[in-house]
Structure 1
Amino acid sequence: MNPNTQSQPLVLITGGSSGIGQALAKRFAAAGWRLALVARRTEAMQAWADEQGFGPERCQVYGADVADVADIVEAGKRCIERQGLPDVVIANAGISVGMDTAALEDIDVMTRTFAVNNVGMAATFHPFLQLMRQRGSGTFVGIASVAAIRGLPGHGAYCSSKSGVVAYCECLRGELRGSGVGVVTLLPGYIDTPLTKENRYPMPFLMTPEGFADKAYEAIRAQVSYRVIPWQMGVVAKLLRLLPNGLFDKLLAGRPRKHRQGEGREPEERS
C-alpha cells in the first residue's frame, strides 16, 4: 500500500450500500479520508465504489451481516489487518419496520431490529475499542433517530431500539471518558432514502442524504456528543417531549403507521 495513502485518516461505515451510508462515504472521501465500507450486498457496494473511482488504496469493502455478531466482529478484524485501525467508526446500519405486538410474527421483527440496531452496533465497535484506548484516540459514532425521543404508535421496535442507541452511546461515552476516545450520537430526522419512500405520514424538514452527511461530518469532526439533524427536528422533538402524555396520545391518535413486514418495502440498511 502506498505510504502516502496509508497516512490519510480511515473511517469505517456500516450499512454503506445505500442512503445515508453512501452519502457519508462520499463526504468523508471528498475530505481525503480512506474508506472501509461494510455491507451485506458486497457486489453492489463494490460496484458503487468503482463508479466513484475509489481504488483499493482508497476504499475496501467488507461483507458482513451486522445482526451476526461473529460476522461483524470478523469484518472489523479484517479491516485492521488490511487498512489499519480506523480513526472513526460509524455504526450506521439499521432497519426500520412497523410492528403490531398483537401479531406474533412481529415479535420476530422486534428481535431482528434489536439485533441490527443495538447488538449490531456494540459488535461493530467491539474490535476497535481496546485498540483505540491503547492508542489514545478515535471516535465511535452511533446513528440513532429523532424517533428515539418519543414512542410513536406502530413503531414499537424502531423507537425503542433507537432510544436504546442513545442510552448505549451515553454509557459508552462515560466509560471512555479520559481515554482520548470520543463518542458521537447523531439523531437524523426524516432523510430521503429508500427506507422512507413509502412512509404514509408527513415528513417535515425532509433532508437529502447528502445534506445530512454534510452536517454529520461537521458534528463528528467537532466531536459533538449529541446532535439532532436537522436542528429544526430537534426543536420539534423537544416540544413533543414536553407535551403531557394525554395530549401527546391525543395528538397522535389516528396517525398513519409505518408499514409492517410484507406490507411495503422490505427493511433496508440505513438508520
Structure 2
Amino acid sequence: MSKLVFITGASSGLGQALAWRYYQAGFTLALVARRVAELQAWVDAQGISADRCRIYSADVAVSDSIVAAGQACLVDQGVPDVVIANAGISIGMDSAVRGDLDVMTRTLAINLTGVAATFYPFVAAMAARGDGRLVGIGSVAGIRGLPGHGAYCASKAGVISYCESLRGELRPTGVKVVTICPGYIDTPLTQKNTYGMPFLMSPEAFSDKAFKTIEDGSSYQVIPWQMGVVAKLLRILPNSLFDKALSGRARKARSTE
C-alpha cells in the first residue's frame, strides 16, 4: 500500500507543486482546497489516477471546516504519513486603517490557527502509531518584521514558534514536526510583489528540496539555502541597522490596492 500525504492549499502554488512531487514519489494524495473545481481540473489535466487521489473541500480560515476535512480523510483514506499545512495568504496591512485589522484577523486565522487546525485530527492517531510527519510552512518573513507586512510576518513567526512547541511535545511519540521556511518562490502569492525578490526559486525546485527535507525528518529548513544565510544575518542584525536597511523599501500591496 502506498503512503498517504495530506496537503492544504493544493489548488495552486506550493501546494500544487508539492502534490505533484509526492504523486511522482508514489504517494496517494489527500488534497484540500476551497477552489475544488480548479483543483479537480488540475488533477484531471495531470492524469492523476482517481484511486490515488481524494479531494476535500475546506476553508482553512474556519477551524471546524478544516477539522472536518481531516476527519473525513481518516475515515476515507486512513492516517496520513505526512500532513503539510501549506494553505496561506499574504496581504499588506496598515495599522492606521480600520479595515486592515480584519485583514490581520483573517491572515492569522489561515496562516497560523489554520496550521494547528490542520494538524489536530491527526495528532493522536499519528502518536498512537508512533510515526508520521507534521509539516508547517513558515517563511523567511517570519524571522523579522518587514514594513507593510505586519499580518503576514506575525502569522509566519507564529508558525515557526508553534511548530517548535509542538515538536517538543511530540518528541516522545516518534512523530516528527518539520518547519519549512520558503524564501521567494515564483507563485501567484509572490507574482504581484513590486519589490526585488532575491534568489527567486521555481515551485518545482522548491518541492524537490522540501520533499527531501520532510523525508529526512529535519526539524527546520530554509529553502533555498541562500535565504537561510540571509535569515541568519537578519537574526543577528542590530535593530538600528535592520531599520536603516529597510528604509524606503516597497511595501506589500494592501487588499484595496
User: Which band: TM-score by shorter chain?
Assistant: over 0.9
Q: Tell me the equivalent position of 2:41.
A: 47
Structure 1 length normalisation: TM-score? 0.94
In structure 2, which of residues 9, 12, 18 is the aligned counterpart of residue 18 of structure 1? 12
Unaligned runs of 5+ in 2: none
Q: Tell me the equivalent position of 1:4.
A: none
In structure 2, which of residues 149, 160, 163 is the aligned counterpart of residue 166 of structure 1? 160
The whole-number CA distance in structure 2 between the counterparts of 1:84 and 1:37 is 14
**What SS class does the counterpart of residue 140 from structure 1 fall into?**
strand
Structure 2 length normalisation: TM-score? 0.99
Letter in 1 for 2:50: P
Measured against aligned partners, the alpha-carbon deviations of 1:5-36 in whole angstroms (never above 9, x if no partner) come to xx100000000000100100010000000000
The whole-number CA distance in structure 2 between the counterparts of 1:175 and 1:237 is 26
Q: Tell me the equivalent position of 2:198.
A: 204
1:54-203 counterparts in 2 under 5 A? 54-203=48-197
Letter in 2 for 1:122: A
**What SS class does the counterpart of residue 238 from structure 1 fall into?**
helix
Query: Post-superposition shift, 1:237?
Result: 1.5
Q: C-alpha root-mean-square deviation of aligned residues, in Å? A: 0.6
Query: Post-superposition shift, 1:52?
Result: 1.2
Q: Which has the higher contact order (CA 8 A, sep 6+)?
A: 1
Measured against aligned partners, the alpha-carbon deviations of 1:66-105 in whole angstroms (never above 9, x if no partner) come to 0111110000011111111100000000010000000010
Q: Tell me the equivalent position of 2:249.
A: 255
**What SS class does the counterpart of residue 177 from structure 1 fall into?**
helix
The whole-number CA distance in structure 1 between the counterparts of 2:46 and 2:132 is 26
Identity of aligned residues (%): 65
The whole-number CA distance in structure 1 between the counterparts of 2:162 and 2:76 is 29
The whole-number CA distance in structure 2 between the counterparts of 1:139 and 1:107 is 33
Query: Post-superposition shift, 1:247?
Result: 1.0
Letter in 1 for 2:194: R
In structure 2, which of residues 194, 197, 211 is the aligned counterpart of residue 217 of structure 1? 211
Q: Which stretches of structure 1, 4 residues or more, deviate above 2 A after TM superposition?
A: none
Unaligned runs of 5+ in 1: 1-6, 264-271
Which has the larger helix fraction?
A: 2
Letter in 1 for 2:107: T
The whole-number CA distance in structure 2 between the counterparts of 1:73 and 1:158 is 23
**What SS class does the counterpart of residue 50 from structure 2 fall into?**
coil
Q: May I ask how many residue pairs the two structures share in their alignment? A: 257
The whole-number CA distance in structure 1 between the counterparts of 2:219 and 2:230 is 20
Query: Post-superposition shift, 1:178?
Result: 1.6
Query: Post-superposition shift, 1:56?
Result: 2.0
The whole-number CA distance in structure 2 between the counterparts of 1:55 and 1:75 is 21
The whole-number CA distance in structure 2 between the counterparts of 1:118 and 1:14 is 13
**What SS class does the counterpart of residue 13 from structure 1 fall into?**
strand
Measured against aligned partners, the alpha-carbon deviations of 1:108-134 in whole angstroms (never above 9, x if no partner) come to 000000000111110000011101111
**What SS class does the counterpart of residue 156 from structure 2 fall into?**
helix
Query: Post-superposition shift, 1:55?
Result: 2.1
